Amino acid sequence: MDASERHLRLLTETSAAVNSTLDLEEVLHLVAEKVAAALEADACFVYLYDEAAGELVLRATHGTPLDEMTRRPRLRPGEGITGVAAAELQPVAIAAEAHLDPRWKEFPNLPESEFESILAVPILAREQLAGALNVRTRAPREFRPDEIGLLEAIASQVAQSIVHAKLYADAQRRVLELEALAKISEAVSESLYLEESLEAIVKTTMDAVQATGAALVLEDGRIAWPEGRAGMHAVRTPLRWKRREIGELVADKDVPFTDEERALLEAIAHHAAVALEHGRAVMRGVLAQEIHHRVKNNLQTVASLLRLQASAEGVDPREALEHSVNRILAIAAVHEALTEQREENVDLAELIDRLRAMLVQGIGGGREVEAHLESVSLAGSRATALALVFSELLQNALEHGSGAVRIELAHRNGDVVLAIADEGEGTVGAAEGTGLSIVRALVADELQGSFALAGARAEVVFPA
């Protein structure tokens, strides 16, 4: 088989190999391998042209592992022997001592000086620079015109494969981008909870751009859903809503962000802004509805207590009014605690201590009131009932008892125990009064617990 037949066969085999896949990285590594084999070279380096940076970037090698390099070598057209071939769009061949050529460029992490010869050709796609490749030999070698022509022909075939692979990679990336945006849109539209939407946005951001970390920074400086870790490179994309900046989407990577990734982050930031405003609008509506509901329930409770007080016989009107005021203040104390804590639960120890101070100041008459309170958390709706119960029992002890008053709040066998005792003989005069009727009803209906009155000690037990 003569040289021309062998070259034709190698060209056909190389073309078939590089056109067997649309994966760009696989194409480039096949190119390096097949070209080195076709020309019986010791090494082959394949560069792609990064038009945005104006540089040739080493993307694949045969004969020198690319994975062991600390940083991908880059050349500007006209820089180094391969860069000259790319800039002049012409082959460059040096038979021996290529490292002594004045056009030579040394890379500390690329041992090119061990090679004697080099043949570099540009990779042209539609007469535009797409990259460059070179073959190297350790022994001096004079490249013949037919070998140069073979490498140019292979480079021409490679150019088409690179174009197709880039189109495929772009299409795949676009699909991933659309999937990411669709996932965020779904999370935003389906979830009524702002935190769930923000979590989905941050996690999808990390997946979409392969980030080491991401977070949403709101306009008040609060960081929502930080995930992962900081990287060497960070992009802060503003969240804008109706010409107003309402936060930032922050993403981190250990490598620089590409233009495509920055564009995707802008699209995600737009969805994040929509999610924030959508979530806030929903929360404003839910909050308003909840406030109206609670106000209605509290007013109904107050109205019921007033009717009950009005139906009682033989009660001093002034005392009845004071008791009603204290009951209303007990309800107000619960909602003040809910507002301060911004949670749905109330710390009973804090609530009871607050009510104790209020009642002692109003009707204590200088009595000593001692409190031993364990930390107990209770839902706001049940806390209202407990506050009314405590208010009634402490009022009874202060008005009808004598001596020091002792308040206890503790856990016991999975239940909560509230006890109030004084040093007198008991609240006989108030045992069947309006206040204790309210206590019994609230303990049974709202707290699903039990109430016991033994002498000067009143005890309420209910499930925690």
Domain 312-463 in this protein, CATH class: alpha beta
Average pLDDT over residues 403-427: 85
| Rounded Cα–Cα distance for residues 358 and 320 (Å) | 17
Which range among 30-34, 305-309, 416-420 has the greatest average pLDDT?
Answer: 416-420
pLDDT at residue 134 in the model = 92
Question: Which DSSP string do the residues of 351-414 spell out, in sequence order?
Answer: HHHHHHHHHHHHH-TT--EEEEE---EEEHHHHHHHHHHHHHHHHHHHHH--S-EEEEEEEETT
Residue 237 has pLDDT above 80, yes or no: yes
Average model confidence (pLDDT) across the chain: 77
Q: Which are the contacts of 116, defined by CB distance < 8 A and separation ≥ 6? A: 95, 96, 97, 98, 137, 138, 139, 140, 141
| Rounded Cα–Cα distance for residues 464 and 188 (Å) | 36
| Rounded Cα–Cα distance for residues 155 and 367 (Å) | 100
Region of 89 please: left (phi>0), alpha (psi -120 to 50) or beta: left
Calculate helix-pair angle for 259-311, 145-190, nearest 10 degrees. Answer: 10
Average pLDDT over residues 354-382: 78
Average pLDDT over residues 93-100: 90
CB 247 within 8 A of CB 276: yes
DSSP SS3 for 212:
coil
pLDDT at residue 414 in the model = 86
Residue 35 has pLDDT above 80, yes or no: yes
pLDDT at residue 429 in the model = 43
Least confident of 229-238, 266-275, 306-315, 318-327: 306-315
CB 387 within 8 A of CB 355: yes
Q: Which are the contacts of 22, defined by CB distance < 8 A and separation ≥ 6? A: 164, 165, 168
Count Cα atoms within 13 angstroms, Cβ side, for 24.
Answer: 17
Are β-strands 369-373 and 233-241 bridged in parallel, bridged antiparallel, or unpaired? unpaired
Beta bridge partners of residue 39, listed in sequence order: none
Q: Where are the beta strands (DSSP E) in 28-164?
A: 43-50, 55-62, 74-75, 92-94, 117-125, 128-137
pLDDT at residue 364 in the model = 57
Instruction: Count Cβ atoms below 10 Å from residue 44 Cβ, excluding itself.
Output: 25
| Rounded Cα–Cα distance for residues 333 and 335 (Å) | 6
Residue 45 has pLDDT above 70, yes or no: yes
Domain 174-284 in this protein, CATH class: alpha beta
Which range among 173-182, 364-373, 452-461 has the greatest average pLDDT?
Answer: 452-461
Residue 122 has pLDDT above 90, yes or no: yes
Residue 167 — pLDDT band, cuts 50, 70, 90?
A: confident
CB 59 within 8 A of CB 47: yes
Please report, rounded to a whole number, the percentage of residues in the chain having pLDDT higher than 90: 12
CB 96 within 8 A of CB 140: yes
| First-to-last C-alpha distance (Å) of the chain | 93
Residue 25 — pLDDT band, cuts 50, 70, 90?
A: confident
pLDDT at residue 88 in the model = 92
Q: Do domains 174-284 and 312-463 have the same CATH topology?
A: no
Domain boundaries, the chain: 3-169, 174-284, 312-463
Give the tokens for residue 411.
């856990």
Question: Which DSSP string do the residues of 397-432 spell out, in sequence order?
Answer: HHHH--S-EEEEEEEETTEEEEEEEESSS--GGGTT
Q: Which is the CATH superfamily of the domain at 3-169?
A: GAF domain (3.30.450.40)
